[in-house]
Amino acid sequence: MSLLSQRLALLSESGNEHLTRVFKGLEKESLRVSPDGQLSQNDHPRALGSALTHPNITTDYSEALLEFITEPTEDTETLLQQLDDIQRYTYKNLPEGETLWVASMPCMLTADEDIPVARYGDSNVGKMKTVYRLGLGERYGRTMQTIAGVHYNFSLGDEFWDFWHRQEGAGETLQNYKNRRYLDLIRNFRGNFWLLLYLFGASPAVCRSFVRDREHQLQPVGQDDHSLHSPHATTLRMGDLGYQSSAQSSLVVCYNDLSSYIQTLCGAITQPHQEYVDKGLSNSNGDYHQLNTSLLQIENEFYSTIRPKRTARSGETALSALASRGIEYIEVRCVDLNPYEPLGVNAEQLYFMDVFLMYCLLVRSPQASGEKYLRELENQRLMVYRGRDPEMKLLSEIGEQSLQQWGKVLLREMQAVARLLDTSYNTKRYSEAVKAQMPKLKDASLTPSAQLLDQMQREDKTFFQLAMSLSQQHGERYRGAPLDSQLEREMQKLAEDSLAQQAEVEAQPQEPFEDYIKAYYSQYNCCQ
């Protein structure tokens, strides 16, 4: 009997079948665009509150790149309803004529310097967030930072961990056991996430303005010279045009244990990197344009598909939080916005994500190796550019396999995990979500990436025109269904409170920024 079967059998025993409780949250990014589809040059709307302190509405890289954050919950419908409410409130308070761009790859862009970097006020913590973003622009260009996506946060309940700690955690503290098992999940995820790129990738094409003055391997879509694509691409966002870094290619992060993960990233944050040393910390005016001259400014700069996470306290680094209190949840970072969905995702996709991640946790998880790491990188590259190519072969530990062969095995094994979750929540939604993915293995035309390219060609629309049309459709839907008045008042109060909180932070005495940065970075020395 396989380890997966053993664990499922234990969880299915009477009294244990309700232990598997999944908690999830979303972080969804969306660009604000003007009526003509250009990136908004307006400031973050004051009616949305403070991007520094609002718990649910902030900005990512740019003033124009909104980020919506939901509270953790067990209930998928509740999660999506909260995101829907946040978006309804946002649409009501956007500047006149603006809408939210529904695609992961951005709208029409002009010069790199025209992309406004997010601002967070005059406090040291606010300045640090802005300087970090200036540094990203210096290192990778601002254009890359206009890409949007969905981050999915996933964790299991205390009863689940208490049960498995008694079964498998002899000699370990509960937190150390959780650390080890969450890293098991991460290693399996890295080996299998190509399946998510195939099933849900939705960025097969880009506006030509995105690759202006950049080398690329894309080609026009038919006679459309304004859009570029790769014919069998799934998610260009996850390829070398997106959140990838040639400088970071030398950074090999090991997920076999938490201490080595932390030490590797701390080293990348504290050791100088010559390319960034040459740029210097400040510009000709003496203003900071990056936080440090190391390979990474902070741990968030490491472009990974999945991260171990722990909620950090005020002023605490993410790695310090992990080092002192261990892994709390997992953040999945490879999910494209689906332009056909008003929320960018739908319930079926999230139910499948839960099954996929639970499967990665329960199945055998071999230790990482250099060979395995290179296979994973190559499979990601293959899936990005050739994911729907019927001749494409993926690299597995048993040799080359077709997507259909490997995917069929994974989905079949996931069915048993889905049945466990169905029992735990007295539903059929998990099994139905897995079943709904199976036709995509046989017919690539059913994937979002294929549907987008097909619609562009059928309707003779550029990538920009199709994305703009869908953005306007979703915007009209939201504007035609405003929030309940009571909920709107509550969200207005939340925005006002966040502005007051930022004012309080800025009213506190601020030490010299150089001293603040020095104290912040001293935490990384303690993590090594």
Asked whether residue 314 is domain-assigned, the answer is: yes
CA distance 430 to 417: 9
Model confidence band, residue 244 (pLDDT cutoffs 50, 70, 90): low
Residue 224 per-residue DSSP state: E
Q: Quick check: 527 pLDDT over 80? A: no
CA distance 330 to 8: 21
In DSSP terms, 307 is beta-bridged to 331
Share of the chain above pLDDT 70, in %: 98
Model confidence band, residue 363 (pLDDT cutoffs 50, 70, 90): very high
- The average pLDDT across 310-324 equals 94
Contact at 8 Å (CB) between 191 and 371? no
Please give the backbone phi and psi of residue 372, each rounded to the nearest 5 degrees, phi first: -65, -40
How high is the mean pLDDT of the chain? 95
- The average pLDDT across 31-48 equals 96
Asked whether residue 360 is domain-assigned, the answer is: yes
Contact at 8 Å (CB) between 265 and 167? no
- The average pLDDT across 126-143 equals 95
Return the structure tokens found at 199: 């099933």
Asked whether residue 96 is domain-assigned, the answer is: no
Q: Across 187-260, where does the E strand assignment appear? A: 205-207, 219-221, 224-229
CA angle 183, 200, 31 (to 5 degrees): 95
Model confidence band, residue 14 (pLDDT cutoffs 50, 70, 90): confident
Residues 6+ apart with CB under 8 A from 500: none
Residues 6+ apart with CB under 8 A from 19: 11, 157, 159, 160, 163, 424
In DSSP terms, 22 is beta-bridged to 156
CATH of the domain at 233: 3.30.590.20
- The average pLDDT across 154-167 equals 97
Asked whether residue 112 is domain-assigned, the answer is: no
> For the chain, first and last CA: distance in Å?
40
Residue 303 per-residue DSSP state: -
Model confidence band, residue 248 (pLDDT cutoffs 50, 70, 90): confident
pLDDT given at position 528: 56
Q: Quick check: 455 pLDDT over 60? A: yes
Contact at 8 Å (CB) between 333 and 149? yes
Q: Quick check: 439 pLDDT over 80? A: yes
- Tell me how many domains the chain contains: 1
Asked whether residue 42 is domain-assigned, the answer is: no
CA 469 to chain centre: 25
Model confidence band, residue 224 (pLDDT cutoffs 50, 70, 90): confident
Asked whether residue 30 is domain-assigned, the answer is: no
pLDDT given at position 357: 98
Residues 6+ apart with CB under 8 A from 218: 206, 211, 228, 229, 230, 236, 241
Residue 115 per-residue DSSP state: S
In angstroms, what CA-CA distances link 513 with 124, 134, 386, 394, 520? 6, 16, 47, 49, 10
Order the strands of the 205-207 sheet from edge to edge. 205-207, 224-229, 219-221
Asked whether residue 515 is domain-assigned, the answer is: yes
CA distance 157 to 164: 11
Model confidence band, residue 40 (pLDDT cutoffs 50, 70, 90): very high
Share of the chain above pLDDT 90, in %: 89
pLDDT given at position 17: 85
pLDDT given at position 215: 81
Domain extent, residue 348, equals 3-25+75-87+151-461+504-527
pLDDT tens readout for residues 61-101: 999 999 999 999 999 999 999 999 999 999 999 999 999 99
Asked whether residue 473 is domain-assigned, the answer is: no
Q: Quick check: 249 pLDDT over 80? A: no
pLDDT given at position 432: 98
pLDDT given at position 243: 57
Q: At how many degrees (to 10) do helices 429-442 and 347-362 cross?
A: 90
Contact at 8 Å (CB) between 272 and 280? no
